[in-house]
Copies of this chain bind each other. A is one copy, B any other.
Amino acid sequence: MARWRPDAAKRLTEAALDLFAEQGYENTTVIEIAERAGLGKTTFFRHFPDKREVLFGGETMSGLLADAITAAPAAATPLEAVAAAMDRAGREVFTPARHERVAARRAVIAANPELQEREALKGLGLIAAMTDALRRRGVPDLPSSIAAQLGALAVKIAYDRWIDAAGGEEFGAVAQRTLSELRAATALV
């Protein structure tokens, strides 16, 4: 079997999720993950610095949200640009086909404080990436920070709502509704 595959990172993440669900995060080794994916340990470490990181896809999400904010129409308000980023996340990351895997990932993270810590830091990375992207659009510092924080809060709340929703509503729609609720709630503080 060829060791090089263009989708190695994705295969490793899927193998890891399966193994974590079957036998627990702590009981799973990097070698087992690589073997399950039909790859070697060296390939694993070419894609991820450690076992934790296999669940966090490098900087994919930060980059995707920042790119979408940059690509939003020039006339869009800060929150409209953030809403466009939510939509992109729904089309490219939190897709209907991945719903079950995202739910499994959340369960693995919820069971492990070390993973929760990594997730919290990734959340801060999201905020920083969105803040920078908004500033590059010419939005002043404070509104950039606030819109990015509201965006990150919307992602976090919508992530749970989307996983828990039975109806199969798209992530982008859930996130945009959440963002509108947050926008309205700023008047209540």
Residues of A at under 8 Å CB distance from B?
A: 77-79, 117, 120-121, 123-124, 140, 142-143, 145-147, 149-150, 153, 181-183, 185-186, 188-189
Contact = CB atoms under 8 A, between A and B. Distances in A.
Contact of A183 (B140, B183, B185, B189): B189
- What does DSSP make chain A's interface, helix, strand, loop or mixed? helix
B142 A79 contact: no
B150 A188 contact: no
Please tell me how many copies of the chain the complex holds: 2
A176 B31 CA distance: 53
Contacts of A150: 146, 189
A107 B98 CA distance: 44
Contact of A142 (B78, B123, B142, B185): B185
B185 A143 contact: yes
A10 B186 CA distance: 38
